[in-house]
Amino acid sequence: MADVAIMGQGYVGLPLAYEASKVGTQVLGFDISQGIVDALNSGTSHIDDLSDEDIRSMVDAGYQATCDAGRLAEASTIVICVPTPLSEDGGPDLGPINAAVHTVSEHLRSGQTVILESTTYPGTTDEVVRPVLEQGGLVAGKDFHLAFSPERIDPGNEKFGAKNTPKVVGGHTPACADAAAAFYGSFVDTVVRAKGTREAETAKLLENTYRHINIALVNEMARFCHDLGIDLWDVIAAAKTKPFGFQAFYPGPGVGGHCIPIDPNYLSHSVRSKLGYPFRFVELAQEINATMPAYIVQRVYDLLNEDCKPLRGSTVLLLGVTYKPNIADQRESPAVPLAQQLIAKGADVRFFDPKVLEWSAVPEARRVDSVETAVTEADLTILVQNHRSFDVDALALKAQRFFDTRGVAADGDKVQRL
């Protein structure tokens, strides 16, 4: 028997399993990948935030990983932590959620609590998940509990994790919320009760839409500040000294990860499909952030032109190709469209990332063995992601041209900032 079965043992589900197992909860980790299951049962981690030692401690505490969906019936609580990507038309792809929910419905028993954590559009828990779970005759709020609790995992964040990040919970009924809150309250420091599932679903979308829009704001400011000869990084440093009414956001080569480029689109799609009008802030922010790689390419063209070099045939070195610093996660990394557009214009693109040994998303880009040698050979080096292992100032001094998209390099004749 298990206290909880967590469906999806990735960046969201596995840290949740880890924290639950630490307080003695008997955790069953369900995943459709036999390779992941075998690795976890042998004590091997596949995500940045947990080490092999962490996984071994889970196993020692009774954690088991499995591909056997029949074992879901053993658990008192089932938490769904599957991916929610975008479809080809930019709308939400509920395929993974639908597959997971149908699997749960085949093994659902009276008295269980089912919690959806996967980010999605408002109404999904009630309109998509509940009808499938009730097909067998059990009724949500009466025979089983149903709730939504948005995942708030920030991969690579050394300060906030699954335990000390407040957990928002919205139930189909108050009793459903009570059951979900009691589960999370056993290992999460703070549980926040939302009015219902729709409010909990929308809270997650608001959080990431807020970031998405503010990142777009500074990305657009980066463009005109460059044209006006204004140092935006100095502007931000000055503005953030105000102790109220301002939160610093920073420009970059685009947005990446499993949340910011995706979640606001779920909200925008929901508004358009249900209400018939656009969520203009989100769509404008998406347009600005999505065009940042192209803007970087134009800046590269201009910088090489100053050195009397064409972009075609020039060697461009990308430093850091993950979506955020100090982790190996490459999901939706803006380095991908940046490299692809440079290659399309004839550049010889090379890369170095201490976290990435093989960049399957851009096979045409060759990984260099020595970053120190590569920066001296490249016609232009771009700091795309600032991993802590990079000695940025030393690399900038060795480079022929150094384009800093993260605002961390010291001023110099060969250094240009976004």
Task: Give dist(CA 147, CA 120) in Å, integer.
Answer: 13
Task: Give dist(CA 186, CA 337) in Å, integer.
Answer: 43
Catalytic residue at 81? no
Q: Residue 273 burial by CB count (10 A; 0-12/13-18/19+): exposed, middle or buried?
A: exposed
Q: For 144-216, where are the E strands, in sequence order? A: 145-148, 167-171, 191-193
Three-state DSSP at 95 gives helix
If phi > 0 it is left, if psi is from -120 to 50 it is alpha, else beta; for residue 137 that is left
Count the helix, strand and coil residues of the chain and give each as a percent rounded to the nearest 5.
Answer: 40, 15, 45
Task: Give dist(CA 241, CA 148) in Å, integer.
Answer: 38
Residue in 188, 174, 137 with CA at minimum distance from that of residue 4:
188
Residue in 195, 197, 196, 193 with CA at minimum distance from that of residue 80:
197
Q: How far is the CA of 350 from the CAs of 145, 314, 379, 392, in angstroms? A: 52, 11, 11, 17
Residue in 2, 3, 8 with CA at minimum distance from that of residue 67:
8
Task: Give dist(CA 323, CA 336) in Å, integer.
Answer: 10
Task: Give dist(CA 18, CA 163) in Å, integer.
Answer: 10
Task: Give dist(CA 209, CA 356) in Å, integer.
Answer: 29
64 pairs with which residues across the strands? 28
What single DSSP character describes residue 251? -
Q: Which residues are catalytic?
A: 259
